[in-house]
Amino acid sequence: MIDSIQFVHCAIPDMALSEADTAYRLSEGFTLPCPMAVQASSESDAVQLSGSGAMPSVFQKSVFVGGKLAGRLQSSQTVEVEDGLDAARAIRLLGNSVLPCIKRTDADKAGMLIRQLRIAMFLTNSINIGALSQAPIYRFK
């Protein structure tokens, strides 16, 4: 489903990549530093992952940031993504009721995946996640 859309490239963005603000407010009302989380294998794993890693973590419905519980998913769904571009597509397609997640085995790639997300924001001239969720797309049929 995520593959069905492609972003329209912006050849002259009016921003710097470093300006891309990845803060992500889920529909439940709590905000994450980035719109991706690592799928943890247990609650203690989630606490440890989010405390030491670059990304939030999620176990079942609980989302952790910096080793602490940030909130619980109620209506929002998690969706598994392979890279930061996939995460950007998921947000564009499904809005802030989705939390893109990477596999536990990809936890060590978190920094790289966030970098990919920021590149997607830069190349769509999206200064923040709100702008990314409105960025022009193609829906190739």
Partner 1 sequence: MRSARRRYTGSSESIPDNSSTQERKIQHIQIIVDEKTQYRKKTTMLELVEVQPNGGAIAPREVDIESELLGKPVLAPMFISGMTGGHPATLEINKNIAMAAARFSIPMGIGSQRSMMENGDLLYTYAMKKFAKELILIGNIGASKLLIYQDERIQEMIDSIEADILAVHTNPGQESIQPEGDLDFRGVLKRIIEVANGIRQPVIVKEVGNGISKEVAARLDGKVYAIDTQGAGGTTWIGVETYRNKSKYGDAFWDWGIPTALSVLEAKSAFSGPVWASGGIRTPLDIVKAIAIGAERCGIAQPVISSERKGGSEGVYRFLSETSEGVRKEMARLGFSSLKELAKAKVTFKDPLKSALIDRNIKL
Minimum distance from residue 30 beta carbon to partner 1 (Å): 28
Q: DSSP letter at 11?
A: S
Q: Does position 16 bind partner 1 by CB under 8 A?
A: yes
SS3 121: helix
Residues 27-86 that bind partner 1 (CB under 8 A): 83-86
Query: Can residue 103 be called a binding residue for partner 1 (CB under 8 A)?
Result: no
CA distance 62 to 128: 24
- Segment interacting with partner 1, rule: CB under 8 A, options 5-13, 22-30, 39-47, 52-60: 5-13
In Å, what is the CA distance from 102 to each residue of 31, 79, 80? 18, 9, 6
- Tell me if 122 contacts partner 1 by CB under 8 A: yes
